[in-house]
Structure 1
Amino acid sequence: MKLRWISWWVTNIIWFILFAVGTVLVWMREVDGAGVTQTPKLKLVAFLVLLIAFIIPIIIQVVWLIFNLRAGRNK
């Protein structure tokens, strides 16, 4: 059981770091990959796309959390 919780926390930390780095990259860049100058509105749209992309891992982590809680309760 302990290994499940450790791997859950490590995975959460990795996802958080990836999201933080992605957010910093989106907000700090002046020009995107297509050569378009980034305005605050375009940066917000890029951040929302990043947020939507991270919803799937968040859902997986919540399901994994529920699994860990139920597995721990059965022992």
Structure 2
Amino acid sequence: MKKRWIPWWIANIFWFIIFAIGSAVIWLREVDGAGVTQTPELRLIAFVVLLIAFIFPLIIQVIWAIVNAVVRQ
């Protein structure tokens, strides 16, 4: 494995851990910060919002992977 892939893997692991923690918080909480009891529908909406928030880092990671694969050093 080339050295330029190491930061990419570290960044992927970081984003995966943050996403997993956020998902766990959404699915395991009974009441949100506003005091609203969480129903399955509200949890799904919150999870979709989390997914939308993680689209930007995903796009960056894909572009970074393509650059790493194309650039030859």
Q: Which structure has the highest helix share of the two? A: 1
CA distance in 1, matches of 2:51, 2:43: 12
- Please state how far the C-alpha of 1:13 moved relative to its aligned partner: 0.5
Hey, what does 2:66 align to over in structure 1? 66
Hey, what does 1:38 align to over in structure 2? 38
Structure 1's consecutive aligned runs of 4 or more residues displaced over 3 angstroms after TM superposition are none
RMSD: 1.3
Task: Give TM-score, length-normalised by structure 2.
Answer: 0.95
Written as runs of structure 1 = structure 2, the 5 A alignment for 1:44-63 is: 44-63=44-63
Structure 1 residues not aligned, in runs of 5+: none
CA distance in 2, matches of 1:3, 1:34: 46
Superposed CA deviations along residues 13-64 of structure 1, whole A, max 9, x for unmatched, are 0000100010000000000000100000000000000000000000000000
Task: Give TM-score, length-normalised by structure 1.
Answer: 0.92
Identity of aligned residues (%): 64
Bigger relative contact order, structure 1 or 2 (CA pairs below 8 A, ≥6 apart):
1
